[in-house]
A and B are shown apart, each in its own frame.
Chain A
C-alpha cells in the first residue's frame, strides 16, 4: 500500500536518520515529495510511504516515538468546499493534476492521491478556500 504523510521535525531531532531507519528496518520505499528542514528550526518533510500495511504502521509509530509529528497529507491540505466557488483558478497551476474541474458539473475535484502538498493552489486561491499546513 501507499500513503502520503507529512513529518514535522522539531529542531532537536533533525540529526536523527529517521527516513533511513524506516527504509532499513521496515522495508519501506520512501518517495520525498517536498522537504524543508533547517538544523536550528526543524521543519517538514512530505513523503509517500510504500510497503506492507503493518510495516507502514510500525514505521510511523517509530517516527512518532522519535519525536516526529506525523499527519496524513490529506489532513494538512485543507479544502473548504463551502468557501470554494469552483472558479478553477488553481487548476492550471497544479503540477500533478490533483485539481481538476469535473467534466459534467464543472465543480472542483481534489484528488488527494495525486497531491504533493506543493502549496501552489493555496497561494493562488482567490477566496482562500485551500490552505496548507506546511
Chain B
C-alpha cells in the first residue's frame, strides 16, 4: 500500500515505549493531621521525599534512595502504593502557631490519601545513544552493567515504536496531548527538561536528537503492569514507565513519518568508560542492527541488550489502539507545539 492510499485508510497510528525513565516521580497530598503539621522533612518507607511544599504536600522522586534498605528507592515506594501496600510515613517539623505538630509516624495507602499524581519532568527520550565500555574494568551505569573491552552494548528506546520518533516535527505530540501513561490516561504537560530535538549528521547518517516530554497523570488509575521500580546495580534506582501516544494521520507527511522503520533510525555508539560529559563516539548504528542481538564495532561482534522492553511497548501500542477503537480514549489536539529548538544548556 502506498503512502497516498494508507493516508486515506489509516486514521490513527499508536506508539509505545516501556523504559527506565529516571526523571519521574509522584506528587502526594496526605491530608491534614490533627493537630496539623507542616511537614519539613519527610520519609516514605525511609526514602526521603521533598519537604519544601505546603503542609502535607510532597514530591517523591523515583531515584531517591532509602536510608536503611539497599536497592530500594522512590520507585519502589510508588510501586508499593500501586500494589495496595501500606507505606510508612514519617515527617518532622519545627512547629508553628498554625501547625503545632512536630512529628508524625503513620501508615498511608494509595486509596487513603487525597492525591497521587505522577509527574515526570523528563520522559520518553526521542532517541538515545548506545552505551559501551572500552576500559579494562566492568562499569555500572544508568545504561546498565557494561562489560570491559566492548563486552556488550546497551540501548534504550523502542525505536520504530518510540513516540517522538514517529512524530519528529511534533505536530501530534504537544502540550495537552492525551496519552497512555502507566496504564491510565495522562497528558503531556510541557516539553521535557533538556528537550534537545536538534538533528545532526554523523558518519553520513542522520541522527535524530533527543526531544523529550513532561507528562502527568493520576497514579490512582495506573497499574504495575506499566509502572515498575528498577534497580541498576552500582547506579541505583530508577523506574520503568509505560507511555503510548496516538498519532492522527493528518496528511501524507504524517503517514510518511509514522512509517519509519528500525533500519531508518540511527544512533551513536558512546564510550561510557569516559567520565566526561562529552563521550567519545565510536560510530553509528541503526535499531534493526541493535535489535538483531549483536552489532559490529570495528572487527568485534558485540552482544546487545535493549533495557527498554519492546514486548511491553507493543502491548501498550496495542492497548491504546483498542481503547481508541472502542471509544474509551479520545484524541486531544495539542494546545501548543513542543519547541523545535534545544534547551540543552550545561552547568560547567
User: Are A93 and B305 in touch, CB under 8 angstroms?
Assistant: yes
Which DSSP category, helix, strand, loop or mixed, fits chain B's interface? Answer: strand
From B152, B231, B310, B312, give the contact of A92 (CB < 8 A): B152
| In the complex, chain A residues 78-134 whose Cβ is within 8 Å of any chain B Cβ | 85-93, 100-101, 105-107, 123-124, 126-128
| In the complex, chain B residues 297-340 whose Cβ is within 8 Å of any chain A Cβ | 303-312, 314
User: Are B312 and A86 in touch, CB under 8 angstroms?
Assistant: yes
User: Are B303 and A91 in touch, CB under 8 angstroms?
Assistant: yes
Interface centre among B18, B20, B144, B305 (most CB of A within 10 A): B305
| In the complex, chain B residues 131-176 whose Cβ is within 8 Å of any chain A Cβ | 144-145, 147, 152-154
Q: Any chain A CB within 8 A of the CB of B293?
A: yes
User: Are B314 and A126 in touch, CB under 8 angstroms?
Assistant: no
CB distance from B269 to the nearest CB of A (A): 14
CA distance A60 to B212 in the complex (A): 58
CA distance A117 to B336 in the complex (A): 53
User: Are B309 and A85 in touch, CB under 8 angstroms?
Assistant: yes
User: Are A89 and B314 in touch, CB under 8 angstroms?
Assistant: no
Q: Report B-chain residues with C-beta under 8 Å of the C-beta of A88.
A: 305-307, 309-310
Q: Any chain A CB within 8 A of the CB of B240?
A: yes
User: Are B311 and A107 in touch, CB under 8 angstroms?
Assistant: yes
User: Are B154 and A92 in touch, CB under 8 angstroms?
Assistant: yes
User: Are A85 and B18 in touch, CB under 8 angstroms?
Assistant: yes
User: Are A106 and B314 in touch, CB under 8 angstroms?
Assistant: yes
Give the B interface residue count (CB, 8 A): 28
CB distance from B235 to the nearest CB of A (A): 10
From B145, B230, B232, B309, give the contact of A93 (CB < 8 A): B145
User: Are B233 and A123 in touch, CB under 8 angstroms?
Assistant: yes
Interface 1/0s, chain B 276-313, versus A by CB < 8 A? Answer: 00000000000000000100000000011111111110
Q: Report A-chain residues with C-beta under 8 Å of the C-beta of B145.
A: 93, 123-124
CB distance from B123 to the nearest CB of A (A): 16
Interface 1/0s, chain B 83-116, versus A by CB < 8 A? Answer: 0000000000000000000000000000000000
CA distance A93 to B305 in the complex (A): 8
Q: A92-B154, A93-B147, A93-B152 are in contact. Are A87 and B231 (CB under 8 A)?
A: no
CB distance from A48 to the nearest CB of B (A): 23
Q: Any chain A CB within 8 A of the CB of B249?
A: no
Q: Report B-chain residues with C-beta under 8 Å of the C-beta of A100.
A: 293
Q: A101-B293, A105-B311, A106-B311 are in contact. Are A87 and B306 (CB under 8 A)?
A: yes
Shortest Cβ distance from B145 into A: residue: A124
CA distance A127 to B18 in the complex (A): 13
User: Are B307 and A127 in touch, CB under 8 angstroms?
Assistant: no
CB distance from B19 to the nearest CB of A (A): 8
CB distance from B162 to the nearest CB of A (A): 14
CA distance A106 to B152 in the complex (A): 19
Shortest Cβ distance from B79 into A: residue: A127
Q: Report A-chain residues with C-beta under 8 Å of the C-beta of B153.
A: 92
**Contact residues of A with B, CB < 8 Å?**
85-93, 100-101, 105-107, 123-124, 126-128
- Of the A-B pairs whose beta carbons lie under 8 Å apart in the complex, a sample of 15, sorted by A's number, is A85-B18, A85-B228, A85-B240, A85-B312, A87-B18, A87-B312, A88-B309, A92-B154, A92-B304, A93-B145, A93-B152, A101-B293, A105-B311, A106-B310, A126-B230
Task: Identify the 4 closest CB pairs spanning chains A and B, nearest first.
Answer: A126-B230, A92-B152, A92-B305, A92-B303
6 additional contacts, CB 8 Å, given A85-B312, A88-B310, A100-B293? A87-B18, A87-B309, A89-B306, A93-B305, A105-B311, A127-B231
